[in-house]
Amino acid sequence: MFNLMPKDNVFFGLFEKSAANAHETANALVEYMERFDDRSARARRIREFEHVGDELTHETIDRLNQTFITPLDREDIHELVCRVDDVVDLIDRAVERTEIFKIEKPIVEARELAVCLQRGTGFLRDMMPHLRNMKDMQAVRRMVLEVHRLESEADRVEHNALAKLFEPPADPIHVIKWMSIVETLEEATDRCEDVANIIEGIILKNA
């Protein structure tokens, strides 16, 4: 049975829960990379956040399919929730690879990328409530610019990591392992930037 009226609070609440879950995932990543103890338990915790993110994404898409009139463009709703989910998936993938590769200790740049994600997802979490009233565009714009800055910082960190990894004498296996992890974490910062851009675009269209 299709709902004819838009359930604004339901969709916006799901956006906010998804962004908060992404931020908690990034917090757990920072703990994982900084402490690097009890790693299996810490990796399981991140996997649990990933499952929560999947559930929130599926619930949002299910409601989108069942709602005749939506509070925002259907494409924007779908894109927003999927890109937030991508951030969580990529963090989980990076940690999974760290476990599979049996990494003995994290490189400095992995910790720095984790912090970029922690701060970036924090801004996403803080931006989401602005979708409820489409106001205070200046505050949203400031946060979007911060997310852009963090993504640029993540690019720099990735470049530094690759430069160090290839310094002689370079161990090819070590290089391959960390290239995979670092590139995955940097891609997660790209998805943060995508989410910030989507939020800004939605507010510009609906303000």
Q: What is the pLDDT of residues 130-189, one digit of tens each?
A: 999 888 889 999 999 999 999 999 999 999 999 999 999 989 999 999 999 999 999 999
Write down all domains in the chain, each with its CATH number in brackets: 8-206 (1.20.58.220)
**Six token digits for residue 164:** 């160090």
Looking at residue 10, its amino acid is: V
Q: What is the pLDDT of residues 65-98, one digit of tens each?
A: 998 889 999 999 999 999 999 999 999 999 999 9
pLDDT higher than threshold 50 for residue 1: no
pLDDT higher than threshold 90 for residue 55: yes
Residue 97, CB-side half-sphere exposure with 13 Å CA sphere: 18
